[in-house]
Structures are given as C-alpha cells and as structure tokens.
A = this chain, B = another copy of it.
Amino acid sequence: MAGIADAARQVLEEGGRVALQYATADGYLPLREYIADRYRRRLGLPAAPGEIQIVNGSQQCLDLVAKIFLNRGDHIGMERPGYLGAIEAFSLYEPEFHTVALEDDGPDLSAFEALVERRPVKFFYGVPNSQNPSGRTYSQEKRRAVAEILEATDTLFYEDDAFGELFFDGKPRLPVKRRLPDQAILSGSFSKIVAPGMRIGWIYAPEAIIEQFNVAKQAADLHSNFLCQMILHRYLTMHDLDAHTRRVAAAYGENCRLMCDLLDDLMPPGVSSMAVFKEGIRRKVAVMPGVPFYVDGGGEDMIRLNFSNADTESITEGMHRLAKVIRGLV
C-alpha cells in the first residue's frame, strides 16, 4: 500500500507527462520485460517481451480470446465445473460448450482425449492451478498427458494461470505451456499478487497470436491504463515480488486450512446449494452456489467458499453461521 503510493509519487514526479498520454496497445515495454524475465527466471520458460500483451486483468484476456477465436456455434472445451467468469465472457459469443470432468488431479483424460479427437474445438480452456471454483490443481502426470493429447490433435490450449504463484506446498507449478510452446496461450494477473483494483494482467503467447491480440486490444480499448502500468512497474522494481507472493500464499494457506478444518468439524452432508445460498443471505453468510459453474447442468450439491479475502475471525464466525444454516436445512 505505502509501496504503491511511493511508486505513484515517483512516476508522476519523474515521468508524469508520458504516463498520462496515449500509449501503444501492447503495453508498457519495461513491464512486459519484467514479466518475460520472471517467466525465464522462475519457470525456465523462454518468454520474450514481444510475446507478452498487457490486458485489464485475466477477465479481459477471456474476452479478447473469445473476440479473436469465436464465432457463433463454434465448439470450445472446458473443465466441469468451469470458471464462471470464463463461461460469462465466452457465452456472449454464443459458442457450443463441451465439458470434461475435472477430477482431483486434473481432467478425466479419456473424456478429454475423446473430446478433442471427436471434433475440432477452437481451444480448450483450463485452469491447471487452484482452479476456480474447485480449488483443484493438475498433477505433473496429467499436465504431461494433456500437453501430449493437445499436441497430437493440434488443439490450442488456453491456460488461465491467475493463481499459479499462490501455492501452499512450496513447489512451483510448471505451466502446460512449457510442453506446448506454440499451441498455448498463458494468461496471468497482478490482481491476486499485487492489487486487483489496478486491473493489470497479461497474455503470454506465440508472436503470431500476440499480433492478433494487439489488433483486438486496440479495438477493445486502445491500451490498458498507462499510468497504472508505470506505477505497477515502479513498484515491482522497488519490491521483492517473490518474497511478497510467498507471504500472501502462506496467509492464504492458513485461511484455507482453517476453513477446511471447520468444514470437517461443523458441516453435515447433503443439502441443496441453492437453499444454502438463499438461507445464508438471510443469516448474513454468503456462499456461491455450484450451479452456475456447470454449463450443462449439475452442481446442486456444491458451494464455493472464499478464504482469501477474510481474516481468521471472519472465517471462524462465517463457518459457524454456515453450519447453523445447513443444520437448519438437513
């Protein structure tokens, strides 16, 4: 917070005139260099600044991908359950959704293979790390298998990696794109690791695809907020992002463990998620019912809980309220 304020002051004192003018659609070059360098250093991915496009958070990447690749009736693949923001963004372009069950360690591989072999989907959209809403992470074996199946069928993979840096076990996750350099669009975001209110994320893709993103981005809103790109970059050069994400991940990990423990302790099984949602609102505890995450039906017995944006007191109080709601419904 104070760090962002310092960075803002410096940018506006030193380079304010540039920060407030029109800029290029691809994004602030030093920020793109920082992102590419970080991929090389952290994950051994051979990223170049020309393969990075700055966007307004992961959500705009969803919209630009849809804008570039989808026409009404096109087929796309995604996980079941799937990320609601993606379902909403894609739905406006009226594709046909095909889902593959997301198991504990990644997609059901035989269903996945059957889908991409049966029909040419424009892309398969997946969230291999801490998927929203399931929280599941693909195993190394499933990452390899997914890459092989996609490569064999020449299918594009849209790898949404908004959470890739926030793992709780100390082991960095290697993107599927590492095994599929020419066939994967990898998107990332500063929302979860620095600040969502700045709306700054990025796309990492082969240059031929990045050129299409440049055109779509220009048509969408010319370029992302340039002042904030400069403030963010200044902040990043003054702070150790690795250390920061480790602290954030550790705090999220504690919240997650607390919530899971309370789930085990407090909750009886077997109630309708929509009923929990409605009764929860009445008793001031908000949950996300599972239904909207299933484009082809299902999710009635699922809810999504949020452990990242709450302190331990709120989690404890919320879980006790939720237990009361659910016990009242059993």
Contact = CB atoms under 8 A, between A and B. Distances in A.
B220 A199 contact: no
A218 B57 CA distance: 12
Contacts of A60: 220-221
Interface string A94-118: 0000000000000000000000000
Contact of A222 (B199, B220, B226): B199
Contact of A71 (B19, B23, B72): B72
Contact of A59 (B21, B62, B221): B221
B1 A198 contact: no
Interface string A219-262: 11111111110010000000000000000000000000000000
A216 B57 contact: no
Given A1-B16, A8-B9, A12-B8, A197 B226 contact: yes
A52 B228 CA distance: 23
Interface in A3-34: 4-5, 8-9, 12-13, 16-23
B220 A59 contact: yes
Interface string A195-214: 11111000000000000000
B219 A199 contact: no
A160 interface: no
A267 interface: no
B219 A63 contact: yes
A43 interface: no
A263 interface: no
A200 to B, nearest CB: 8
A310 to B, nearest CB: 13
A248 to B, nearest CB: 14
Given A8-B8, A89-B219, A199-B226, 7 more contacts: A4-B20, A63-B220, A197-B225, A198-B225, A199-B222, A199-B223, A221-B221
5 contacts: A4-B16, A20-B197, A56-B224, A56-B225, A92-B216
